[in-house]
Chain A
Amino acid sequence: MSTPRVISRGATTSSELDSDYKWGFTIDIETDLAPKGLSEDIVRLISDKKEEPEWMLEWRLKAFRHWVKLDQEEPKWAQIHHPPIDFQDIHYYAAPGSKKGGPKSLDEVDPEILEAFEKLGIPLAEREKLAGVAVDAVIDSVSVATTYQETLEKAGIIFCPISEAIKNHPDLVKKYMGSVVPYTDNFYATLNSAVFSDGSFVYIPKGVRCPIELMTYFRINQADSGQFERTLIIADEGSYVSYLEGCTAPARKKSQLHAAVVELITMDDAEIKYSTLQNWFPGDKDGNGGVYNFVTKRGKALGRNSKISWTQVETGSAITWKYPSVILQGDNSVGEFYSVALVNNHQQADTGTKMIHIGKNTKSTIMAKGISAGKASSTYRGLVKIMPSAEGARNFTQCDSLLIGDQCGAHTVPYIEVRNPTAQIEHEASTSKVSDDEVFYCQQRGISVEDAHFMIINGFCRSIFQELPFEFAMEASQLLKVSLEGAVG
């Protein structure tokens, strides 16, 4: 995948912000929009639009009723601050095009949309350049295109929008949806369960190694809407899949809510590698606008010797509240979390992971790098929990923070709960700034202060970037550079 090119935007409308965010354009497409607000009728409307079976609607309604009971009690323990969210001032459903049902082939997709994805560097046409990556493109509440369906079908792999999976593979969806993140899990997961729109569904059959990388690209386009996608990935015995996720949004004055749920399940000997490049609109220099990224991501390593690996590069969003976690249930299962979280200007990130060790000889590794610049605040918050049954469990955690400038904050809040004496837990963390000596050394060799900083920061993140697929790693490095512009030098 190529690096997103700089795009010259058209005239900014009054609802857009002037910022350096290069993915902040909007496209003018016909949109089928549900009225603002959240009620049982809206839940029914969404379910109806998606032509869902009765059991799905029932599940949504259960979630919605539970959400009402929560009485707008959002979780308050995170190190983030924002004005109260008016949950009645959001469009919970926005679909490009007025046609019922998604387009059947690329030819049916609105050329405006194709062009938009082209601009984002995610061409949807199946061609040489992107060979090797199958893309599911989601705009607002609807998946607009899924590429390489044929290649995948040959291998028996299911890769489709979740709304299709609900219709075509109800048994799998019924069995696994909510099995990792129940609808009662937390405030935002409950909200998502009631109003979730599109997202991806992946099933890798027994013994299959997915031949190409799968990718979902999320795009918020509609103003005043929220995106509530839901992704479910199941890797059956002995299978492997590498899944990538990317996201951007227009630069709008008003903050937009993104509350996703991702569930991963691995059977015996299976492996899922999940990589995220999160580049939602971060708001402008003064902290106006930006996406509130409140997501629940969790994997269940159900089978023996299975492995779930999360890699994330978080540069976008005004606020990130995200803890991709692994429940290590199968014996000898492995959980990994590699993260770079960069915040600049007024961004806030409270992110980390939870590793719940249940099976014997389970192993987890956590590497988190936080970079704060401007007036931003970043927090690593992570839980390592060893249950009494997790004989011989092992965890290693390292979280480092780098501070750029004296107006920002960097926090580390690990929780370690050990209930088995044979477990070995190590946690290390450090906080420092880019060393003056290192910068001086670079300057002596003719490297500018700014370049020296990028070099040092890149080195700081290297161990995480190495975990990303090649193209993603290149893009991540670029993103970092763009996000840090103006912070140093």
Chain B
Amino acid sequence: MTRHFTLAGAIVSLACLAMPAVAEEHTIGAIFPLSGTNAVYGDVFMSGADLAVEHINADGVLSGPLSIAYEDSQALPQPAVVAMTKLVNVTGVPYTLSAFTGVSKAISTLATRNSVVGVNGGGVGPDLAELGDYFWNVIPLANLEMRAVVPFLVEERGLKSFALVYVDDPLGDAMHEELETILPEVGGELVDSFSVPTTAQQFSGVAAQVRASGADVVYVASYGNQQLQIVKQLRDNGVDAQLVAYSGYAVPDALALPESEGMIITGQGVDFDSEDAVTKRFVEDYTAKFDRAPTAYNVNYYNAVLVYGALAAAIEAEGGEVTGEALLEARRATESFDLVGGTVSFQDNGTLLFPIQVKEIRDGAAHALTSVTFD
């Protein structure tokens, strides 16, 4: 019931290593969880980023070949800072892909101090929008997801009382704050909230409390293995309320869990049927290469690498050197980018806006219920 892409990831990275080294090569960094309990995300992120590298190199967008130097964050801030130090000081990258809220916040100081661009395509903590000029997001953040799903549940489904189970970290705290703000605005109520430590695995006690709260909706704000354990144990312990989660839940392991049936999740709306050339090429090549349909996470890191390609090409065209400062300047000068999912522009705080889809999990797959657009 559990799928792993370790082998695929290994083959991809070996393929990267086999690429010849040329003088004018471009190297960008990536700090992903490659080991530890969240390694499953690392594989997902890498597949999107690697495909973009292939496309950029095949098209000859840049003067030399592009490659990605991967570093392992284990999805934890501490190893991420060590990895970022290495990427900045040793590898000397101008642009680094990052994932996870805690990790992104931790490396943002180094990014700013060394004028290296950090780009997040996986973490959704709302405060990621406020990490300075050198930190960008190519993913809509969780506050948007909540603003899409909460009114839907309260107004369309008539579910008014909410309980929240959230992980005790920057992401969970931010989600908690956001839910507390939104619910009263739309006539709902947060009847109880339960924070759980990042390492907890045993939730039968929390489940008993959730049941006792009598909420109509239980919002689960965690990630990785833990969110699956929470959902399973809530169901096992007699919680039959509507379960809701954010985009972090859209991983194969979670969708395949029998207890996920009927859950409502949100996520970035990517129109994979779109007719534009970038999206079509991505969907076709991704499906052919990995033998599965792409998800929003694959899209985000594909897009993050495409953004680098576009900016670096523009800098090279003017004869400049590709540095973090130059990339930031070029981004500010660029009106819009043709990415998977359409033509989009960065907001001033360095975050891309995408529509949010509200989806329901049926038979192990997420089916869209509605789509919400923000200005």
- Same assembly: no
